[in-house]
Amino acid sequence: MDPSLYLDRDTWVHRLDPRTKMFLLLGMFALPFVFLNPLYVLGVLALVLYFGYLAESLVNLRRIWFILFMIIVVTPILWSIVGSGRTPLFLFVEREALLYGLSTAQRIVITVIAGMIFLSTTRNEEVAIGLVRLGIPYRFAFAVSTALRLVPTIVATGLTIGQAQRSRGLDLESGNIIQRIRKHLPLLVPVFVTTVRSTNVFSMALESKGFGARPGRTFYLHTAMGRRDALVLIAFVVLLAGCIALRVAGYGGLEGFTR
């Protein structure tokens, strides 16, 4: 199984400059927080999903659906208990608290999906180039993209090691929480040892390929901000400004919610 999220498709979203995609990602982190009303947040969610559809990236939802599902279930319950409002609904739950919970759940889901779309359409190398073009030193940019790469690698190693230990009779599913954590030792130690070992080879290989040998470097991937990037960015800024204006004008809020 390929542990990376990136999908090698040729959509106009893929072709955007990595900097544009980074700005869009940041913007998508901000947009759902403009509104409190779950219906308005739902609009933002629909927008993100449509964008993901255009980017042909929604197949990756299959890989994270469980996390999203848990967020959608747990968050509203949590806020219904913790928050309070004016209109009683049933038992001790108030309408406003539930609605707020729904908004929050959607906000988290939006951020996760936006991140997913970003990783589905942007290569690690593009992340690095984008950061370099924004003035960040290459060493740091490379570290960021390596971290992105390392996560799936560790997950893959963990899966193999899990199989090895389960073959020896390790059962992770039973016992109380403390027992369960202790049971993970047979997984964590080999994952750690293997990761350190392969990271060591990795850094030797980097040095042996001249990493950091010269102050400057060139890039194989060709990136440039074009007309499409400008249009997308302008459209997004207009959208964000529009949403803020709506909210200031009194739409999309949630009256009567208190913590």
Partner 1 sequence: MEPAVSFEGLAYRYRGQQKPALKGVDVEVAEGEFVVVMGPSGAGKSTLCVSLNGLIPHFFKGKMEGEVRVRGRSTREGKVGEFAQEVGLVFQDFEAQLFSTNVALEVAFGPENFAVEREEMVRRVESVLGQVRLEGFENRTPATLSGGQKQRLAIASVLAIEPRILCLDEPTTDLDPIGKLGIFEIAEDLKDRDDVTLIVVEHETEETLDADRIIVLREGEIVADRPAREVLRDVELLQESSVMPLQVTRYFHERGLWQGQLPLTPEEGVAEFKRRGWRVSPERHQKLVEADAKRKEGYGDSVIEVEGLTYRYPNGVVALEGVDLTVRRGEFLAVLGQNGSGKTTLVKHFNGLLKPTEGTVRVGGEETTKQGLRRLGQTVGYVFQNPDHQIFSDTVFDEVAFGPKIRGMEEDETKEQVEEALAAVSLQGRGDEDPFGLTKGERQRVAVASVLAVRPEVLILDEPTTGLDYAEQRSMMDLVKSLNEAGSTIIAVTHTMWVVAEYAHRAVVVRDGRVALQGTVREIFAEEDELRDASLRSPHIVSFGNALGYPVLSVEEMLKVTEEG
Count residues binding partner 1 (CB under 8 A): 53
List Cβ<8 Å contacts ≥24 apart for 204-211. 211/142
Interacting span for partner 1 (CB under 8 A) from 43-51, 88-96, 205-213, 232-240: 205-213
Cβ nearer to partner 1, comparing 177 with 201: 201
Cβ nearer to partner 1, comparing 78 with 146: 146
Give the type of residue at 205: A
Cβ nearer to partner 1, comparing 201 with 249: 201
- 163 binds partner 1 per the rule CB under 8 A: yes
Closest CA to 49 of 32, 33, 67, 66: 32
Q: What share of the chain is helix, strand, coil (3-state, %, to 5)?
A: 70, 5, 25
Contacts to partner 1 from residues 7-36, by CB under 8 A: 8
The alpha carbon dihedral of 80, 178, 190, 209 has a sign of positive
- 185 binds partner 1 per the rule CB under 8 A: yes
User: In whole angstroms, how close is the CB of 161 to partner 1 at the nearest point?
Assistant: 5
- 228 binds partner 1 per the rule CB under 8 A: no
Contacts to partner 1 from residues 99-138, by CB under 8 A: 123-125
Q: Could you say which of 11, 146, 244, 246 contacts partner 1 (CB under 8 A)?
A: 146
Rounded CA-CA distance 130/133 in Å is: 5
**Axis crossing angle, helix 18-30 with helix 95-121, rounded to the nearest 10:** 170
Q: Could you say which of 66, 90, 91, 209 contacts partner 1 (CB under 8 A)?
A: 209
Beta strands in the chain (DSSP E): 88-90, 93-94
Cβ nearer to partner 1, comparing 39 with 205: 205
Q: Could you say which of 65, 139, 175, 207 contacts partner 1 (CB under 8 A)?
A: 207
| Gap between the terminal Cα atoms of the chain | 44
Q: How many CA atoms lie within 13 A of 67 on its CB side?
A: 12
- Cα distances (Å, whole numbers) of residue 68 to 60, 108, 161, 188: 12, 9, 26, 26
- 216 binds partner 1 per the rule CB under 8 A: yes
Query: Interface with partner 1 by CB under 8 A: which residues?
Result: 1-4, 6, 8, 123-125, 146, 149, 157, 160-161, 163-171, 185-186, 188-190, 193-194, 197-199, 201-205, 207-214, 216-222
